[in-house]
A and B are shown apart, each in its own frame.
Chain A
Amino acid sequence: MQFTAMILSNIEVSPGYWRMRMTAPPECATASPGQFIMVRVNGAIDPLLRRPFGIFDIGTYRPSQSGAQPQPFLEILYRVVGKGTAMLSTLHSSDLLDVLGPLGKGFALGKPDEEKLIVGGGVGLAPLYLLAKELVKESKVRLFAGGRTRDDILCITEFERLGIESYTATEDGSLGECGLVTEALLRRLDRLQRSATIYACGPHGMLNAVAQIAAERSIPCQVSLEGYMACGVGACLGCVVPGRSHSPETPDFRCVCTEGPVFESGELKWRE
């Protein structure tokens, strides 16, 4: 659906990373974790296209003055990387935004009696918080958060408040272990007593490594991908990624905005 959202807050949570809360219609309350929205940053023609963002959280805001109606909201967590996100970071509460969504296919929650391992790199944590909120209701959840420096490890306290055990790793060692978060994931997998599912979102290199690890150990793994998107509704075919059997002779492209952004890692083609 398309709606006009009113910004409720827009806060820098770490240098270069922002968390924005906006009003949402009641239909958004049923968005599934992993779905995304397309935001029109302003009404002018530059930037021209909408920008996609994962849904970080949804909830209900209860205004303090008596009599006011409770208001459903949604949140995004975004990193300023270019023109559109820079403009977004200058918006204030009560500014309006034109939003399309929720879009795409989210995470499958899977069986409750298995361990859920969530792996996020940098702003890749964005769609994983709503997922974690759902998963902790029935399962044991562990979070593996990686980033270049401590500034890239976002909103860990929110995850911990859900009762999730978290492992952090930074490439410069400024927070948690020094190194890649996949090493902590591997250690956990070595000690695993029962079945598990991995959920991952982050830079392509990290997803590639996680998909490899999952394939080697035959652990189900879902990844949330990005793609260059113009429309978000399956019309432009700009956002595709190669599927498992893709080759120049036997092309197999998957549409990230409608078939994804969440895919079983085994459905996709990864670097060897």
Chain B
Amino acid sequence: MNSVMKPDMSVILAGIMLRNPVMTASGTFGYGEEFAQYIDMETIGAFVTKGLSLKARAGNPTPRIVETPGGMLNAIGLQNVGIDAFIAKKVPYLRSVNTPAIANFFGSTVDEYTEMARRLDEIVEVAGLEINISCPNVKQGGIVFGADPGSAASVVSACRAVTKKPLIVKLSPNVTDVVVMARACEDAGADALSLINTLIGMAIDLNRRRPVLANITGGFSGPAIKPVALRMVWQVAKAVKVPIIGIGGIMNAVDALEFMLAGATAVQVGTASFINPGAAQKIAEDMEAWLISNGVDDIKSLIGAMET
């Protein structure tokens, strides 16, 4: 036999048909357009916007970024254009590409989250919503929504009530038990869970005896966090029925396929897009090549297929 069958790379994620499981992660791919000259958008499964809020946010003072071995810390402070400018200036681009766009968003109260979900629900170009619950709840002493199952559930159920679009909840790894959070979000109506967001870390400049980041702490991402992310995806996949998007340190097709074995239906590529703006495309292509050379005809057969 010398004709090679193309494997089926498509997956269905919370009702969204993806041509392949590779997405880009929020905050690492702008609003899509920034990457248009480096990547063929129609070779990836979906892309996720920078986290959006009701009002534009300026973000934190600098330095906001520092590299650490195998990773980086960021304290951007959720700088974004705000929902109105998003609709006016960024949505036209979403319309021009034939790839699902997921809008990532956040708020500082349950009402803000709900209002965002309502606004995003009206945008036909938005294929699905991803709730970033790694934000402080200003009404409850700044405890992060994603660190308290009750707060997380109230955000998710309030958003669920105002949108019929697929609702993805992005989990924070900065919790005692990620499975408890995952179950709370599933029960509150999430259609899918994405994990992990960044791990909180810090870096110190010994000579200046000061933190490197102006914000002191920052979110840790990149290849160094992959083992933690894989473990959490595996734990959550065993505990919930909704599909999972694996995120954390994915640099190549092998990393992505490992996440699928651990139980992920799709993956998101984050920091890797900074190093190589075409990373997501390359990963999708290399995954297909791996399937061909390993005689796998449907990528869905790999989801959760790790043997123990």
Residues on A lying within 8 angstroms of B by beta carbon are: 1-2, 40, 45-50, 98, 100, 227-231, 233-241, 251-253
Contact = CB atoms under 8 A, between A and B. Distances in A.
A40 B79 contact: no
B286 to A, nearest CB: 15
Given A48-B72, A48-B222, A237-B79, A251 B63 contact: no
A186 to B, nearest CB: 30
A253 to B, nearest CB: 6
Given A49-B67, A231-B277, A238-B62, 15 more contacts: A40-B276, A45-B222, A46-B69, A47-B67, A48-B70, A49-B72, A49-B275, A50-B275, A100-B277, A231-B273, A235-B274, A236-B65, A237-B59, A237-B64, A238-B74
A15 B278 CA distance: 37
B277 A251 contact: no
Nearest to B76: A237
Interface residues of B, number: 33
A40 B64 contact: no
Nearest to B75: A238
Nearest to A227: B62
B223 interface: yes
Interface string B267-291: 0000101111110000000000000
Interface in B276-308: 276-278
Contacts of A40: 275-276
Contacts of A234: 30, 34
B58 A49 contact: no
A2 B277 contact: yes
A240 B59 contact: yes
Contacts of A230: 65, 72, 74, 271, 274
A224 to B, nearest CB: 17
B74 A236 contact: yes
B169 to A, nearest CB: 23
A229 B66 CA distance: 9
Contact of A228 (B64, B70, B271): B64
A46 B69 CA distance: 6
A81 B26 CA distance: 32
